[in-house]
Chain A
Amino acid sequence: MLALIGRRLLIAIPTLFLVSLFVFALQRALPGDPFLVIAGEERDPEVIARLRQIYRLDDPIVVQFFAWLGQVIQGDFGRSLRTGEPVLGLIIQKLGVTFQLAVASMLVAVGIGIPAGIIAARRKDTLADYSASAVALFGLSVPHFWLGIMLILLVSVELRWLPASGFESIFSDPRAAIERMIMPAFVLGGGLAASLMRHTRSAMLEVLQSDYVRTARAKGLAEDAVINRHALRNALVPIITLSTILFGELLAGAVLTEQVFTIPGFGKLIVDAVFNRDYGVVQGVVLCTAIGFIVMNLLADVLYILVNPRLRDG
């Protein structure tokens, strides 16, 4: 187990190096000069020249890359070109925001997806199954940013039930936080609920047809007991793995949702940074997302081994 984790962590190092190299190259290829934007409406040539010097943008790109990498290893991610704030502080601040959104969405996804999948599997080929599958298909096919706009239009602009945008931390003002979180969590979690439902359904179906469930039934166990004690537990194995992977995707998938609902999280930070050519922020954010992605994958593997009795015992 520890050996596995160790090996995976070692492999992660070159991957992260490649990610940062890639991002670095990509953003330097972006057209447009960040300093033309930063230098303000006046665009004083003298100021622009000084700024380029301060941020070492006239150095060879290789020098720039290793200078940046050296700082990152020391925990210094640099400062935002746009606001002058330290990038690391920004990332930590935004991570909390997106994390809250991700958890809320995950609750929606798991809360709807798994029960719906179980029901659909137990009542295979009934109306319940068909409607659950149809709703899941809807969730998979509807463009989320559009769903968000429609919700704002209906719930906020027309009915005025919920605030149209913004963010509040669950710890500072729980009610305001939940009011603002309902729509984005539904939009972001809905799509995930759809894929969770479909996976749960097929995993359950497979388990329900397996020998040991048939044996359990033959022994005369009540159907609920069969489901709860035997089938569910085994079906959960692939679902847990999937959920952790989905969680990683969720962090990235928050990009458009945050844009639509004006949530000051990770996704909005990076989209704005790309548009403003805020190099330091783009680098820092992508690197952190990649780390998060790798960690989640590792976690998924570990969970898989822990939950899967066959692998654990064998």
Chain B
Amino acid sequence: MGAMTIRATGANLQGRGSLRKLLRSRSARIGGVIVLAFVAMALLAPLLPLADPLKSNFLAIRKPPSELYWFGTDELGRDQVSRLVFGAQASLLAGIISVAIALAVGVPIGLIAGWYGGWVDVVISRVTEALLACPFLILAIALAAVLGPSLTNAMIAIGLSFAPILIRLVRGQVLAIKNEEFVDGARAIGGGKLYILFRHVAPNTLSPIIVQSTLFMAQAIVLEAALSFLGLGQQPPSPSWGQMLNVAKNFMEQAPWMSVAPGVAIFLAVLGFNLLGDGLRDALDPKES
């Protein structure tokens, strides 16, 4: 519990030290660069000099990579480069929104379960366990099917399937911190229960949540691709990497380039978030290096 004193004196100091550590970590640097490039690609897509990703050209169907079409064209003669770049938007969105949903649902419930204990905790823990016992992907597939196939619903499904993991994580953190000195101190000064929870306990659960969220981003991108691959995510004509793969697998033999590019894109994005997550873990969580 060497980190305790630092935690107690405030999040700022910890933040600065961690940042320095983070910048020193090679994996975090590489991951950060990939993630930044990915985010830039998604945000700047409309500004880049690219072909319309929705514009079909029936005269240029399934053309192999060439000078004109770097990554070839798809089954409707659309430029794969611009579909890939615009597809980054779907992946980024899936990552951010689903993690945000998971955080919005998981963190408060986890805090409540850990802090109040008693029957509240028992009920929440049982439900969480039940959810964790359902196969994760099945849960997401069933939810996506219930809500109807669309990118938004896929994000909700992914976010909700992440939530129980976060609940368990946050609850565990709260239980670990609950009886530490600085919390007792705050109690002694006469802080209200809710006040202590949000002013003192919640901030100290941040580091593992940040690490977990970064890793969730990576998983969310893969899951969005997987759901789209099964036809339950992004719907045509809008591009997403998983949806591109879903179409491409029908043309594996005739047009292998259609399945190579989106797969590599998914791999790189996920790699970026995984590297960043590793770096963050090393920087924020000295126990788990």
Given contacts A142-B267, A150-B259, A157-B252, contact A286 B134 (CB under 8 A): yes
Q: Which of B11-19, B53-61, B123-131, B180-188 contacts A (4 or more CB under 8 A)?
A: B123-131
Contact pattern, B 126-147, Cβ under 8 Å of A = 1, otherwise 0: 1101111111111001110110
Inter-chain contacts of B132 with A (CB < 8 A): 293
Question: In the bound complex, what is the Cα–Cα distance between A174 and B131 (angstroms)?
Answer: 38
Given contacts A19-B133, A153-B256, A290-B133, contact A31 B142 (CB under 8 A): no
Docked-complex contact A137 and B142, CB < 8 angstroms = no
Q: Which of B1-9, B43-51, B171-179, B269-277 contacts A (4 or more CB under 8 A)?
A: B269-277
Residue of B nearest to A28 (CB): B146
Q: Which of A31, A150, A153 contacts B148 (CB 8 A)?
A: A31
Docked-complex contact B131 and A256, CB < 8 angstroms = no
Q: Is B201 an interface residue (CB 8 A)?
A: no
Q: Is A15 an interface residue (CB 8 A)?
A: yes
Inter-chain contacts of B136 with A (CB < 8 A): 252
Docked-complex contact A152 and B252, CB < 8 angstroms = yes
Question: In the bound complex, what is the Cα–Cα distance between A150 and B289 (angstroms)?
Answer: 34
Question: In the bound complex, what is the Cα–Cα distance between A255 and B249 (angstroms)?
Answer: 17
Q: Least Cβ distance of B180 to chain A in Å?
A: 24
Q: Least Cβ distance of A216 to chain B in Å?
A: 24
Q: Is B222 an interface residue (CB 8 A)?
A: yes
Residue of A nearest to B129 (CB): A15
Given contacts A143-B226, A146-B259, A153-B256, contact A30 B145 (CB under 8 A): yes
On chain A, the number of residues with a Cβ less than 8 Å from chain B's Cβ atoms is 43
Q: Is B225 an interface residue (CB 8 A)?
A: yes
B interface, over-half SS? helix
Residue among B138, B249, B274 with the highest chain A CB neighbour number at 10 A: B138
Q: Least Cβ distance of B189 to chain A in Å?
A: 38
Inter-chain contacts of A169 with B (CB < 8 A): none
Contact pattern, A 242-283, Cβ under 8 Å of B = 1, otherwise 0: 000000000111011001000000000011001100000010
Given contacts A18-B130, A270-B138, A271-B230, contact A137 B274 (CB under 8 A): yes
Q: Is A232 an interface residue (CB 8 A)?
A: no
Inter-chain contacts of B142 with A (CB < 8 A): 23, 26-27, 30, 274, 282
Residue among B133, B134, B138 with the highest chain A CB neighbour number at 10 A: B133
Q: Which of A140, A141, A149, A286 contacts B252 (CB 8 A)?
A: A149
Q: Is B236 an interface residue (CB 8 A)?
A: no
Q: Which of B138, B146, B249, B252 contacts A252 (CB 8 A)?
A: B138
Docked-complex contact B263 and A150, CB < 8 angstroms = yes
Inter-chain contacts of A145 with B (CB < 8 A): 225-226, 229, 245
Q: Is B67 an interface residue (CB 8 A)?
A: no
Contact pattern, B 233-275, Cβ under 8 Å of A = 1, otherwise 0: 0000000000001000100110010011011001100110011
Question: In the bound complex, what is the Cα–Cα distance between A259 and B232 (angstroms)?
Answer: 14
Residue of A nearest to B273 (CB): A141
Question: In the bound complex, what is the Cα–Cα distance between A27 and B143 (angstroms)?
Answer: 9
Question: In the bound complex, what is the Cα–Cα distance between A63 and B247 (angstroms)?
Answer: 43
Inter-chain contacts of A271 with B (CB < 8 A): 141, 230
Q: Least Cβ distance of B62 to chain A in Å?
A: 15
Q: Is B28 an interface residue (CB 8 A)?
A: no
Docked-complex contact A143 and B259, CB < 8 angstroms = no
Docked-complex contact A26 and B143, CB < 8 angstroms = yes
Residue of B nearest to A20 (CB): B130
Docked-complex contact A141 and B137, CB < 8 angstroms = no
Q: Is B218 an interface residue (CB 8 A)?
A: yes
Inter-chain contacts of B141 with A (CB < 8 A): 255, 271, 274
Question: In the bound complex, what is the Cα–Cα distance between A235 and B135 (angstroms)?
Answer: 29
Q: Which of A23, A149, A157 contacts B245 (CB 8 A)?
A: A149
Q: Is A226 an interface residue (CB 8 A)?
A: no
Docked-complex contact B135 and A143, CB < 8 angstroms = no
Given contacts A153-B252, A252-B137, contact A22 B131 (CB under 8 A): yes
Question: In the bound complex, what is the Cα–Cα distance between A18 and B126 (angstroms)?
Answer: 8
Q: Is A289 an interface residue (CB 8 A)?
A: yes
Question: In the bound complex, what is the Cα–Cα distance between A29 and B141 (angstroms)?
Answer: 13
Inter-chain contacts of B143 with A (CB < 8 A): 26
Residue of A nearest to B246 (CB): A145
Q: Is A75 an interface residue (CB 8 A)?
A: no
Question: In the bound complex, what is the Cα–Cα distance between A256 and B263 (angstroms)?
Answer: 15
Contact pattern, A 48-81, Cβ under 8 Å of B = 1, otherwise 0: 0000000000000000000000000000000000
Q: Is A294 an interface residue (CB 8 A)?
A: yes
Q: Which of A15, A29, A152 contacts B126 (CB 8 A)?
A: A15
Binding site for B on A (CB under 8 A): 14-16, 18-19, 22-23, 26-27, 29-31, 137-138, 140-143, 145-147, 149-150, 152-153, 157, 202, 251-253, 255-256, 259, 270-271, 274-275, 282, 286, 289-290, 293-294
In the complex, given contacts A18-B127, A271-B230, A290-B134, what are 4 additional A-B residue pairs having Cβ atoms less than 8 angstroms apart? A18-B129, A141-B267, A146-B225, A149-B263
A-B pairs with beta carbons under 8 Å apart, 26 shown: A15-B130, A19-B130, A19-B134, A22-B131, A26-B142, A26-B143, A30-B142, A30-B145, A30-B146, A31-B145, A137-B275, A141-B274, A143-B263, A143-B266, A143-B267, A146-B267, A149-B245, A152-B252, A252-B137, A256-B229, A259-B230, A270-B135, A271-B230, A286-B138, A289-B133, A289-B134
